[in-house]
Amino acid sequence: MNAPLLVTSSPHIRASSSTRRIMLDVLLALLPAVAASVVFFGLQALLVILVTVASTMLTEFVTRKWILKRDFRLGDLSAVVTGILLALTLPPSIPLWLAAVGGILAIFLVKELFGGLGQNFMNPALGARVFLFLAWPAAMTDWSKPLMDAVTSPTPLAILKGKEVAGAVLPHLSQLFLGDRAGCLGETSVIALLIGAAYLLARRVIHIRIPFAYLGTVALLSWIFGNQHGFFQGDVAAYLMSGGLILGAFFMATDYATQPISIPGKWLYAVGIGILTVVIRLYTNYPEGVMFAIIIMNTVVPLIDRHIVPKTFGGSRA
């Protein structure tokens, strides 16, 4: 009767699914993208994925057991998910040692130092990728086209933005959909990502509201402002299928720990990511804005939660 009431850290999910079950579903959903990256980029893609996963798992083990003296829980599979997500945001030509550094940063710096699973204020994989991008920009922007050895080419977003090399043309929509174009390991094959997203939605691991609001905002603004020669002429399909948008919308922005609590807050959060993505894509020196947009809105989530308070069950809104 005198036993203390123990409340675990957020997020508090009112469902029968355990953390391990949710992470396992995410892993299964990522398998099509992983398979596509190996098909299009070859053995190097598999090596990058193996290195990042090994790095995140080892870092979590060392950090929790020997540095922070916390319970060791690799069994929840969150470190594996982080490793795969990080790998899918990296270019295929990245040095393996740099991929390992990314895994260390994702777990130690972004996740564990802030309290571990559920308490990180930004997505660990994206946080690590941003750091790698800022510290080693050349290695993080060395794109290779699938099925071609050591041939670099501009990404579709760079072409859309008008920064293409001489003779470069925008890939056909079918190439964008299937994955035959330059880009990061996990962002090229839209169909593989959508298969995984459909699985997550069917399993109710994620809700459609954040991806829908995010993609809808990007589609609308890209149509209005996405053409250099006038308004309402942007190639919506090309913008939606280029870069890391689909990966970010379904697998990054929907992270439980870094999204708002309330439903109106989630809509605001997703629209904010969409606006920032388009602004960065069109009006900065960076052709892709997904990672920065999600990270920026991750930091705004506490402010959203402070001002948009969900209605208490059985009560009235404050």
Non-local (6+) Cβ contacts of 257 within 8 A are: 10, 11, 117, 118, 119, 120
137 shares a domain with 103: yes
CA distance 208 to 203: 12
Bigger pLDDT: 225 or 141?
A: 225
The 10 Å Cβ neighbour count of residue 315 is: 7
Bigger pLDDT: 180 or 210?
A: 210
> How confident is the model at residue 14, as a pLDDT?
53
The answer to whether position 2 is within a domain reads no
> How confident is the model at residue 150, as a pLDDT?
44
DSSP state of 172: P
Looking up tokens 């149509």 gives: 223
Residue 257's domain comprises 206-307
Predicted model pTM: 0.89
Could you tell me the pLDDT band of residue 153, with boundaries at 50, 70 and 90?
low
Non-local (6+) Cβ contacts of 84 within 8 A are: 27, 30, 34, 49, 52, 53
Structure token pair of residue 162: 């008008």
Could you tell me the pLDDT band of residue 180, with boundaries at 50, 70 and 90?
confident
> How confident is the model at residue 227, as a pLDDT?
86
pLDDT digit string (tens) for 279-300? 999 999 887 899 999 999 999 9
The answer to whether position 312 is within a domain reads no
pLDDT digit string (tens) for 122-150? 999 999 999 999 999 999 988 766 655 44
Number of domains in the chain: 2
> How confident is the model at residue 289, as a pLDDT?
92
65 shares a domain with 196: yes
> How confident is the model at residue 5, as a pLDDT?
52
Query: What is the average pLDDT across 174-180?
Result: 87
Bigger pLDDT: 135 or 313?
A: 135
Average pLDDT, the chain: 87
258 shares a domain with 181: no
53 shares a domain with 192: yes
122 shares a domain with 24: yes
CA distance 270 to 273: 5
CA distance 214 to 199: 19
> Which bin fits 42, alpha (ψ -120 to 50), beta or left (φ > 0)?
left
